[in-house]
Structure 1
Amino acid sequence: MSEFQSAYQEEERKLDRALASIDDQLQQLRSIPVYIGDDFTEQALEASREGQRQKLIQSAQEPYFGRLDFEESGREFMPLYIGKAGVSDTVGKQPMVIDWRAPVASLFYSFTGGDSASYEAPEGLIEGKVSLKRNIVIRQRKLERVVDTFNENADTPGVSDEFLVYRLGENKDNRLRDIVSTIQAEQDQIIRALKNTALIIQGVAGSGKTTVALHRLAYLLYQYKEQIRAERMVIFAPNLMFIDYISEVLPELGVGDIQQCTFTDWAAKVIGLMTVPADGSAGLMRWFDDHARKQEIRTEQIYPGRYKGSMEFKNLLDDYLLRIEAECVPQVDFEPWDGNRLSRAEILEWFEGEYKYYPVARRKERLLARIHRWVEMELKKSPSAAALKERKKKAQQREKAYAKKWPELDSFQLYRNLFQMKKNADFAVEDLQARIPAAVWKETKDSLKNGTVQEDDLAALLYLFAGVNELDSTLTFDHIVIDEAQDFSPFQVAVLDRFVKGHSFTILGDLSQGIHYYKGIDDWQEMQGLFAQEETAYFALTRSYRSTMEIIEYANEILKRGVGTDLLAVPVFRSGDPVRLEHAQSGESKLKLIKQALTKVLNGEYRTTAILTRTLDEAKQMYESLTAEGLIANLIDGDKTQYAGGISVLPVYLSKGLEFDAVIVTDVDAQHYGPQDAKLLYVGCTRALHELWLLYGDQIPEYVVTEV
């Protein structure tokens, strides 16, 4: 019997025992009637039992994915089996499967060879020796694959990437999946970072940064279960379809109730807008990407989104908030009836003294309530019932009149005030307006005058809201994940820091995919500078696990020649077909080549294919042409909330974050992809896992490699 056969049979026997124990425990729990009464203690016990039932149901199909033979110094050796959920045996209640988030399980990810190994536990550093690291594939209760990635008794005991390459070669469906069985050491370091840290992750295309962030959420809930709640965590995603695409990762990890939304939708809800802003992210993106890129780009031009996302604008709003506070109290005494007066000086003393530490809207509320109580006390001094009646009537009228003299502290009204002329303003703001670039001031003024809120106004509206209001617990988060963060502004992150406890962020993106020149950042230091040095950490993920070597190397050349960046991906050793460049000048030849490519793809084992056009209008035309040919395809236009897989037709700027078995990029010519569009084409190329086709016209961009 070979060594492999012996290992396989050993793991089959272990699996049989583990499944029998899990089935037995699950049967026992299911035999206990579900409690539906009102007794709090019984409710808690039932919740615990239900949690255990769900954990066992999950484990009953794939109880574990790895084995680590670790001998702790001075203690007896025991093989550790690592799974998505921890399970104890039925006899001694000893751990049978270790939860992947447990401290000792970190060895499975961090160990890269050597004579010694260690991990951090609550009681301190635990040291020992690893003799075996084994990857195990179990599907539907059947053992499918056993791969030793380290074995000290093997002829070549070095850690192997064989299992990783095997998993990366699998085809994609219409959902992102967990990577818990293939987490790499550098990814595990990010996942297990401390909670109260603003993590900033620069990850090349295909480095798994989104998946790592999702696994980090699952880890934080496990490690800090007494401090954080799933429902008080949030993922800010680029669009609703991307939310659908990542929707199954957290449930696969046994985690639910984490909020997932776009920044636009969340901000609109917080500040009380009834709908998403009229020119929200999708509309704004289409306008710029389908039209503005065809115009000559002038680098000195000030884009409103860039200015309104800057810390310069935040500093202006800080000064505005100070102005609001200073000028909030009306410049008059309060006289509830003739002959009785509460001086402004005394009102101001309350406002600036006893209520000093409340936000200004709360101070206004407390102050008006105190004035009302003062009036009630004064009414008790009335000399007669008739006088009391007359004074009470007067006081009610004058209290209402006095309350109207206070400015409206609604964030939208305050923002409009900043962009109005003085005669219509509640506060003097000419000096503040002078600090706003004239073009930005005029465009925003005209927009607000028409009742329209742009996407780039939302950070300011939120900041004003947080500056004048008391943020209750329903509005704050225990942890925030920002995906595609290179498209966020520093001001947006600074605003979100008002809504999260302890600067607890996972901020991830790729500067090489910063395709929207009218917003976002150029350097991660713009984000890091928002936090104290001890409150933030920076990680760079440079290995790409998505695409073949041929695709990554080709995409890297686009970046080197078109952008001049050194943020290049390092491919995992997984080879595939060469990148295909095909000349397609006319619409007819383009459609013919696309049909040829689709025939090849559909006849293979691939499940997902994308046809990436330059604009949305071109995507719609391509979709109509394909459906006229009898092909079943899905048009992705920015309004879709679900990703269906199969053949997808979409503009390239909507493909960020997605991945497909095969990708066909159309119209790769100088007219569609000018010098400023190298990053955009890079995004399109790096969506492909296995095959990449580029269809080009007569004048191919200078930064595109023509010999492959």
Structure 2
Amino acid sequence: MTSLEHALSEERDYHDACRTAMTGMVDGAAHHVVTGADVSASGADAEALGHYLRSYAKELRELPDSPLFFGRLDFGRDASARDHAGQSYHIGRRRITEQSRHGTAPPLVVDWRAPVSRAFYRASARDPQGVAVRRRFGWAPWSKGDSGDLTSLEDEHLAAGEPNPQPTSASDPVSVSASDPASDPASAFVSAPAPTGSRILAGEIERPRVGPMRDIAATIQPEQDDLVRSPLAESVCVQGAPGTGKTAVGLHRAAYLLYTYPQRIQRRGLLILGPNRTFLSYISAVLPSLGEIDIRQSTVDDEIARHPVRTRDSEEAAAVKHDARMAAVLHRALYARVSPPAEPVVVPDGSYRWRIPLDELERIVAEVRAEAPPYAVGRERVRTRAVRALQLQAERRAGPVSNSWVQKAGRARAVSAFVDTVWPRTQPEEVLAALLTDPADPLLAPAEQEAIRWTRPPRSYRSAGWSAADLVLLDELAGLIERPDGYGHIVVDEAQDLSPMQCRAIARRAGFGSLTVLGDLAQGTTPWAARNWPEQLAHLGKEQAAVVPLTAGFRVPAAIVALANRLVAALDVDVPPARSLRRDGELTVREVGDLAAATVGAVRAALTHEGSIGVIADEPDTARLRAALAAAGIATATADDLTAEARVTVLPASIAKGLEYDHVVVAEPAAIAGAEARGLHRLYVVLTRAVSRLDVLHSRPLPPELGSPE
């Protein structure tokens, strides 16, 4: 048996032992759910314990089948290894332990989020961090975790003075592979590293995509790891070029925070916000694969959905309603309902009458307004202070009063009438309906007022039909009336497309929490898309958040990135051009006579390769292309049907953002660019969805900003 075969055999045996231990953990968790029900404790403590045990058992039971580890760290014995001197740790997506008679034994597998695991991502020849050898494991594609699927391993000797099986430079990895058992073991070592520094790492990053997005726990790069492990209290903005893994960074940061700050996160919750439900379906498997379930993943529209959307605004009206000035307009419309008192308050008390003079009532209302509490809180403060004024009079006359007297005074008809007059109860819908009926606010130009004015006001706000932009305004008003519950942390993806008013909706839910803001200004496609991050972060309430650029792409090949970069100068945003570490991939730009026939031909050729295929076009063209593919006997799926067996997805350019396909066919770039005001931004998005091969087919001239590709 060669040294390679011996090493693989040992690791496969170790994986079998880990699998046995994992089965024991699942069975043990189920047993604890049953026995925990009999624990003697208070009702609240027993309920909390039962919830924890049930959640833990569910978490283990629902873990997807996959390899249990992807790496190993062997620490040296010098001082730099500290407490880990001479120790060896397998790194995986989940901590695995083996139960013993004396309690829990040392872990068989260490969670990738544990402090010791950081060296797996950060150690290098220049800074070994005490690591002597870093081992990566190569598993067969789509492995469910059978030990026989462990096909290769790769050792990187980092510690100074460590002998290498084959002479290499200090920065070169040494790799052994069992992909071909009949090969000569002497030739099993990698002679030249991939651009990422590891053949196994590069192979995992470039592996064809089928179905939902995968986690990147095995492939996190140092600059990504810094962001993933940012403290909970810090808000971070990631300006990520296409293929840099910004979405994966955000999801892995969420998993890291859940692991590192479980009580603080569970107390307030964690929210993942995506641009649309198609995108959420695409990323839905990432957190469960990392052992985190029951995490709320939503869109801004879903979070603020007080009513169904029944009407549609004109482009002009939507632009006004999403403008930041609407926050001040709504604030004025709401607080215009507050008015000064017109007469004193007189409260009968038996044969006596208590009286609050007009000037004192005016002072109460003015002081509460100056404190600027939420509207509903202000209303109750006015009531409380009016009652306090009565209480002080009563106590000066007859001594302390009882609580029942205070409560009775608060319910007095005169007090309630005073509060209803100066600070009336109201609903967001009532305020907005009045504003849209007569939007006469000097902050808005006359044309803007007319754009949002209802042409046929409803009889009552209760019968109003609301647009999507109206729901954003209703949420603003609801937040002014009563502050909403917030989250401990929110991950906001594609944040460059949020309007100022949508940002404010998020800010209200993160007032006492932090944000991970992900986006790319070059991919902003909404009419109100951000031009710079400082302004967008101010709308999100996190002006001090650091903006960290990710420009090195690991997914999109360099030739494709270079084509897309031709558009950047025309996008009116200040972002550094994307760059790619991949020199593979294929790019074809062809002028064709029959777009549908050419698309069918391109898809047929793409089907000879493995991986997913996306056909992206302007929305009116998608039905025609789907019909042409069906007529050619090629099955297709829609973008939100990730369970379909068809390898080919036909989708409009409007929902391509955030998605990836191994092979992309872009049909008629000019139509995509001309379909909307920010069409060039949309085209930039579309051109960067391919992670292996890109076919650009056009029957019309290419957009001049794209130039004439060779």
User: What interval of TM-score do these two structures reach, taking the shorter chain for normalisation?
Assistant: 0.7 to 0.9
Taking structure 1 as reference, are residues 88 and 703 closer, same or farther at Cα in structure 2, changes over 3 Å only?
same
Counterpart position of 2:517: 507
1:312/1:141 CA distance change after superposition, 3 Å: same
Aligned-residue offset at 1:492: 3.0
**Which of 259, 279, 285 matches 1:222?**
259
Asked if 1 retains the 8 angstrom alpha-carbon contact of 2:486 and 2:513, the reply is: no
Map Cα deviations across residues 192-232 of structure 1 (whole Å, 9 max, x no partner).
Answer: 11212221110111211111111111111111112111872
Q: Name 1:248's counterpart in structure 2.
A: 285
Residues 20 and 460 of structure 1: CA distance in aligned 2, closer, same or farther (over 3 Å): closer
- Residue of structure 2 in register with 1:612 after alignment: 616
Where relative contact order (Cα < 8 A, 6+ residues apart) is larger, the structure is 1
SS of the aligned residue for 1:67 comes to strand
CA distance in 2, matches of 1:464, 1:662: 46
Deviates more, 1:535-544 or 1:394-403: 394-403
Structure 1 residues 489 and 499, CA gap change in structure 2 (3 angstroms): same
Given that residues 8 and 146 in structure 1 are in contact (C-alpha distance below 8 angstroms), is that contact kept between their aligned partners in structure 2?
yes
Structure 1 equivalent of residue 307 of structure 2: 274
Residue 228 of structure 1 aligns to a residue whose secondary structure is: helix
CA deviations 1:269-324 (Å, max 9, x no partner) are xxxx3213633xxxx7xx87xxxxxxxxxxxxxx5555544544445555666x44
Alignment match, 1:111: 123
1:434 offset after TM fit, Å?
Answer: 1.5
User: CA separation in 2, counterparts of 1:247 and 1:266?
Assistant: 17
Q: 2:430 aligns with which of 413, 420, 439?
A: 413
Kindly indicate whether the alpha-carbon contact (under 8 Å) linking 2:211 and 2:642 is maintained by their aligned counterparts in 1. no
Correspondence for 1:360: 375
Residue number among 460, 464, 467 corresponding to 2:477 in the alignment: 464
Question: SS of the residue aligned with 1:691?
Answer: strand
Letter in 2 for 1:103: P
Q: 1:151-200: CA deviations, max 9, x gaps? A: 24333231523222201232212211111111111111111112122211
Change over 3 Å in CA distance of 1:627–1:90 after alignment to 2: same
**1:528-578: per-residue Cα shift (whole Å, max 9, x none)?**
44589994121111122222232222222333577686532221225022x
1-structure distance, mates of 2:327, 2:420: 30
Alignment-derived partner of residue 217 in structure 2: 180
Which stretch of structure 1 is more off in the superposition, 658-667 or 230-239? 230-239
Which aligned pairs between 1:190-589 and structure 2 lie closer than 5 A? 190-229=227-266, 232-268=269-305, 273-276=306-309, 278-279=311-312, 305=318, 308-315=321-328, 317=330, 323-324=335-336, 327-334=338-345, 342-351=356-365, 358-365=373-380, 367=382, 403=420, 406-421=423-438, 433-446=441-454, 449=457, 451-471=464-484, 475-516=485-526, 518-529=527-538, 535-560=544-569, 566-577=575-586, 579-585=587-593, 589=594
Aligned CA RMSD, in angstroms, stands at 3.9
Aligned letter for 2:374? Answer: P
Does the alignment pair 1:151 with 2:184? no
For 2:666 and 2:67, how far apart are their aligned partners in 1? 38
Residue-by-residue CA offset, 1:356-391 (whole Å, 9 max, x unaligned): 57532233246558879999999xxxxxxxxxxxxx
User: Letter of the aligned partner of 1:10 in structure 2?
Assistant: E
Q: What SS class does the counterpart of residue 694 from structure 2 fall into? A: strand
Distance 2:531 2:296 in 1: 28
| Bigger mean CA offset, 258-267 vs 215-224 | 258-267
Output the CA distance in 1 between the equivalents of 2:679 and 2:624: 22
* Higher deviation after alignment, 397-406 or 192-201: 397-406
Q: Gaps (5+ residues) in structure 2?
A: 174-196, 394-408, 459-463
Amino acid aligned to 1:552 = V
Q: Give, as a single letter, the amino acid of the residue that structure 1 aligns with 2:210.
A: D
The partner residue of 1:697 within 687, 695, 699 is 699
Alignment partner of 2:150: what SS? strand
Check the 8 A contact 1:476/1:499 in 2, yes or no. Answer: yes
Match of 1:502, SS state, is coil
Q: How has the CA–CA distance of structure 1 residues 413 and 150 changed in structure 2, closer, same or farther, with 3 Å as cutoff?
A: same
Kindly indicate whether the alpha-carbon contact (under 8 Å) linking 1:242 and 1:657 is maintained by their aligned counterparts in 2. yes
Match of 2:404 in 1: none
- Measure the CA separation in 1 of the matches of 2:215 and 2:588: 30
- Secondary structure of 1:174's counterpart equals coil
* Aligned-pair CA distance for 1:235: 1.6
What CA distance in whole angstroms lies between the structure 2 residues aligned with 1:395 and 1:22? 66
Pairs within 5 Å for 1:15-26: 15-26=15-26
Q: Whole-Å Cα distance in 2 between the matches of residues 671 and 262 of structure 1?
A: 25
Alpha-carbon offset, residue 346 of structure 1: 4.1
1:687 is matched with which residue?
689
Note closer, same or farther for the CA distance 1:670–1:233 as it changes in structure 2 (3 Å cut): closer
Pairwise mapping of residues 56-67 of structure 1 onto structure 2 (< 5 A)? 58=63, 61-67=66-72
Looking at structure 2, the residues matched to 437 and 149 of structure 1 have their Cα atoms a distance apart, in angstroms, of: 67
Q: Please say if residues 600 and 632 of structure 2, whose CA atoms lie closer than 8 Å, have aligned partners that are also in contact.
A: no
TM-score normalised per structure 2: 0.79
Deviation at 1:50, TM superposition (A): 5.0
Partners of 1:496 and 1:70 in 2: how far apart? Answer: 44
Distance in 2 (CA, whole Å) between partners of 1:114 and 1:253 is 30
Query: Where in structure 2 are the equivalents of 1:83-122 lying within 5 Å?
Result: 83-91=92-100, 93-117=105-129
1:648 counterpart SS class: strand
Number of the residue aligned with 1:291: none
- Residue 14 of structure 1 aligns to a residue whose secondary structure is helix
Q: Aligned pair in 2 of structure 1 residues 611, 249: CA closer, same or farther (>3 Å)?
A: same
Shift of 1:410: 1.8
Please name the residue that 2:625 is paired with: 622
How far apart are the structure 1 equivalents of 2:279 and 2:542?
32
What is the aligned length? 637
Maintained 8 Å contact 2:347/2:355: yes
Q: Distance between the aligned counterparts of 2:29 and 2:437, measured in 1?
A: 66
The 10-residue stretch of structure 1 (668-677 or 553-562) with the greater mean CA deviation from structure 2: 668-677
More divergent stretch after superposition (592-601 vs 329-338): 329-338
Please list every run of 5 or more consecutive structure 1 residues that lacks an aligned counterpart in the other structure: 118-128, 289-302, 379-391, 422-428
Comparing 165-174 with 148-157, greater Cα deviation is found at 148-157
Distance in 1, Cα, partners of 2:383 & 2:573? 61
> Distance in 2 between the 1:52 and 1:468 partners?
38
Q: Which moved more, 1:336-345 or 1:80-89?
A: 336-345
Report the CA distance between 1:440 and its aligned residue. 2.0
